[in-house]
Each structure stands twice: as C-alpha cells, then as structure tokens.
Amino acid sequence: MRRPALVLALIAVLAGCQSQAQQPPALALLTEQSQANLEQIRLVIEEALGTQNMRLSQSLFKETSLLIIERQALRSIANPPLFSETEFPNHFMLLKSSQGCLIEHRQSQRQWVLENIDCILTSGED
C-alpha cells in the first residue's frame, strides 16, 4: 500500500524539478555595479566581438537588460564602407537562469555564464 504512494510522490517531485529546469532564461538586472562585475562583463563582450579595450558604462545592466553596441566601420581609401558608416548593431542581453546570470549575444545566440555575479529578474520588456 505504501509503495504506490511513494512512487507517485517520487514522480511528482521529479516532474516538479524537471519543469523548473526547463524554464527559459529571463531578462535580468545587475544587483551590484562593482568594478569586478563590470570587468567580467567587459571581457565577455570583448570575446563575443573579437575586440579589446572596450569602454562600457558604469550603469551597465542597471536599468535595462539590453546592451546595444554599434561599432564604426573601419575606413580606408582601398576599402571604403559601402552602405553605411557603422556595422549592424550587436545586441546583448543580461539573463537569469537556473545556472545563474548569463550574457547572451542575440545574433549568435551564444551564452556566457557570469561567475559570482548576482542579478534579479526584471518585470519589464526591453
């Protein structure tokens, strides 16, 4: 008699764990704008864009979970830009998932988990 009840309880627990793990990452904001946090995020953005020495705002991901970066196209006489002065903008999102806080590059859908950074879910759409 106890065995069926135990099996049902175990199935319910496992189903609950599985549904929690399957929730997609949601938009988030940083809880702290420390230099260490901003440095880690800067390194992720630089890796994603294949660049170095980027300067990012001190209020990054404080009020919005979206970061848009437009880079100037390199100009030269031999290879002038054809259609515009900038490349297509790069969009980055701060997300919270079961793994913690992550940065997602929307164009490539690559994600980086941020170590020792806390974020909170945001209620608004960015």
> Does residue 18 lie in a domain region?
no
Q: What six digits make up the tokens of 14?
A: 């496992």
pTM of the model: 0.72
Residue 105 in domain: yes
Q: How many domains does the chain have?
A: 1
Per-residue model confidence as pLDDT tens digits over 16-30: 555 455 689 999 999
- Is 58 contained in some domain? yes
- Please list, residue by residue across 87-122, b when 16 or more beta carbons sit within 10 angstroms of its beta carbon and e when fewer do: eeebebbbbbbeebbbbbbeeeeeebebeebebeeb
pLDDT in tens, 34-55: 999 999 999 999 999 999 988 9
Q: Which domain holds residue 59?
A: 24-72+79-121
* pLDDT band (50, 70, 90) for residue 71: confident
Distance CA 81, CA 63 (A): 34
Distance (Å, whole) CA 83 – CA 95: 33
Identify whether 15 is part of a domain.
no
Query: Is residue 61 in some structural domain?
Result: yes
Q: Does residue 4 sit within a domain?
A: no
